[in-house]
Amino acid sequence: MEVIVPFSTGRPKSRLSDVLSPDERSEFARAMLDDVLETVAAAGGDPRVLATDAVDVDHPATVDDRPLTEAVNAALDARLGADGEDDAETDGPAEPVAVVMADLALATPAALDRLFAAGRDADVAMAPGRGGGTNAFVTSHPEFRVDYHGASYLDHREIAAEIGAAFAAVDSQRLGTDVDEPADLAEVLIHGEGRSAAWLREAGFALDASGGRVAAVRK
């Protein structure tokens, strides 16, 4: 299954600016991207980066500097066809395509396996984020397109209903945790097993529970 991984190369992870410098945010974002690409491949997916600028990765990459919604929809147009038509190359219904965000540092092959399996049974299978965003999805419906803003998961459910697409929700803590805020760094240190967790530790972050809740602090 082809898996599109959107990645912003310019000023990534701005909400981490209180704890990471611009260069550190770029390094950390790249560590998360590498984790996601490795996890997608381990789950049997074919990862393809959709970046806002040129990026050096060991997988195919496409540059599209438009906003996320426009860039992803253009990618879906190219792969699923328009106007509900069948896939011209395969002379049949389009194969499912997935979109997995590049900041899912806790994703595992098993979690993605669940998403991919759900996407083979439903027209749209989606893993919501903790704040109501859309962290990952699979679709084979030629009319499904995205609208990323705010609680986009609810909007995407409505879009699926409007086009008559069978929808499946995939409840996953691993896929539901996108790393955007300083509080999310503790989750990476607790549950992360790849480059992202290693990068945080090398940068001096450790878990601290002195304030009554576990947090990632720089020693």
**What are 22-53's pLDDT values in tens digits?**
999 999 999 999 999 999 999 999 999 999 99
* pLDDT score of 79 more than 70: yes
Which of 83-87, 88-92, 121-125 tops mean pLDDT? 121-125
Q: What is the mean pLDDT of the chain?
A: 93
Find the distance separating the first CA and the last CA of the chain, reported in whole Å: 42
Q: Which segments of the chain are extended strands (E)? A: 2-7, 46-51, 61-63, 97-100, 124-128, 134-139, 167-169, 205-208, 215-218
* 116-140 average pLDDT score: 96
User: What pLDDT was estimated at residue 53?
Assistant: 97
What CATH number belongs to 2-179?
Answer: 3.90.550.10
Cα-based distances in Å from 17 to 32, 53, 131, 216: 17, 21, 20, 14
Give which of 13, 48, 45 is closest to 29, Cα–Cα.
13
Residue 90 has pLDDT above 50, yes or no: no
Q: Where are the domains of the chain?
A: 2-179
Q: What is the mean pLDDT of residues 176-188?
A: 95
- Give residue 88's pLDDT: 43
pLDDT at 86 (0 to 100): 47
Whether the pTM exceeds 0.85: the reply is yes
Section 112-128 average pLDDT: 97
**Rounded Cα–Cα distance for residues 191 and 89 (Å):** 41
Strand, helix or coil for residue 71? helix
